[in-house]
Amino acid sequence: MEPDPLQEIQPRYQKIQTLGKGSFGFVQLARNASGEMVAVKLLKRGDVNKYVEAEIVNHSLLRHPHVIQFKEVFLTSEYICIAMEYATGGSLFHYVQKQGRLKEAVARWFFQQLIIGADYCHKRGVANRDIKLENTLLQVVKGLPLPLLKICDFGYSKADFKSAAKSKVSASAVRLPWGVPDTPARGLTATLQDLADPALSTSSRRQHSSYNSNVPAAHLSRAARRAHRSRAGYCRGPCRTLPAQRAPGPCCHTESSCALLPAGRHADVHGARGARKP
C-alpha cells in the first residue's frame, strides 16, 4: 500500500492520486483547502542534500508563465513536501511520444516558450541545468490551439549568488592559448580586458602563433603575422628578412625613414624599394 503522508495535514491538502515515482521520492496530485489542484513532491527527510536545498531556494525565486509555479514547502513526520502548480497536459516527452513527430510550427511554438522561460530564469540568476523533455510540462489552456510549456524540476539548478568563484586566476599562472601578455597580480579580469585589444581579432586569437608554434606564418592573420615576425626577429620593413638573411649592418623599417644606413645604401642592401634580392 502506498504511503499517504498528506493524511497528517488534512484538510489542508487532500490526496487524489499518485502522479509518478522517482529515485528520490514521489509526486502526488492533491487538492488544497481552497479547492485548487496542486502537485506535491514528497522527499524523505533523511535524504535531504544540497540538491533539495537548491530546488527549494532557487525555484521559490521564480514566478513566470513558462515556469511551474512554486507554492510552498512544508513538513510531515517523515517527508519534506514541496507544493507546486499542477500541469494538466503531462510532460513534453509523452506529448512527443504520442505525436510521433512534431511539425515545424508546433516545434517552434514549444521552443519559443522554452527560450522565454530559460531567459527569465537566467535574468533572475538561476540556471536550471537539467532541461529535457521529461522536465518540461504542458498546461492545457482553454482557447489556445496548443498547450503552454512550463519548465520544472530545479533539483540540479544553481543560482549566481551560490556560484561565486572561490579563487582568482592570474595569467602568470595560466598560459592562455592565444598568447595574451601576462598580467601578474591583476587577476582574470585584467586578462579579459587585454583580450579586448583590437589588435587581437577573433581570427588572431584562434590562429595566433603562440597557440601553435608550428602554424606557418603565411596562414596567420595580418595582426598575428606582425606579432610572429616581431618575436622571430624579422625586419618589420618591406624586406621581411630574418637576421641570418640580412646583409651585414643594421636593418631598417622603411626606405623613407632609414636613418640607420648611409644615404643610398637602402637599395643596395635590400633591393629597389625594399624588395628582397634574389
DSSP string covering 7-53, please?
A: GGGTTSEEEEEEEEE-SSEEEEEEEETTS-EEEEEEEEGGG--HHHH
Q: What is the dotted CATH code of the domain comprising 8-164? A: 1.10.510.10
Q: How far is it, in rounded angstroms, from Cα 153 to Cα 175?
A: 39
What residues are paired with 75 via a beta bridge? 80
> What are the grid coordinates assigned to 209, written together?
602563433
For CATH 1.10.510.10, the residue range(s) in the chain are 8-164
Q: Do 43 and 79 meet the contact criterion of CB atoms below 8 Å apart?
A: yes
> What are the grid coordinates assigned to 180, written together?
595574451
pTM value > 0.85: no
HSE on the CB side for 84, CA within 13 Å? 29
pLDDT in tens, the chain (278 residues): 667 888 888 888 999 999 988 777 899 999 998 999 999 999 998 888 889 999 999 999 999 999 999 999 999 999 999 999 999 999 999 999 999 999 999 999 999 999 999 999 999 999 999 999 999 999 999 999 999 999 999 999 999 887 765 655 554 444 444 444 444 433 333 333 443 444 444 444 444 434 444 445 555 566 666 665 665 555 555 555 555 555 555 554 444 444 444 444 444 444 444 444 44
Residues assigned a catalytic role: 130
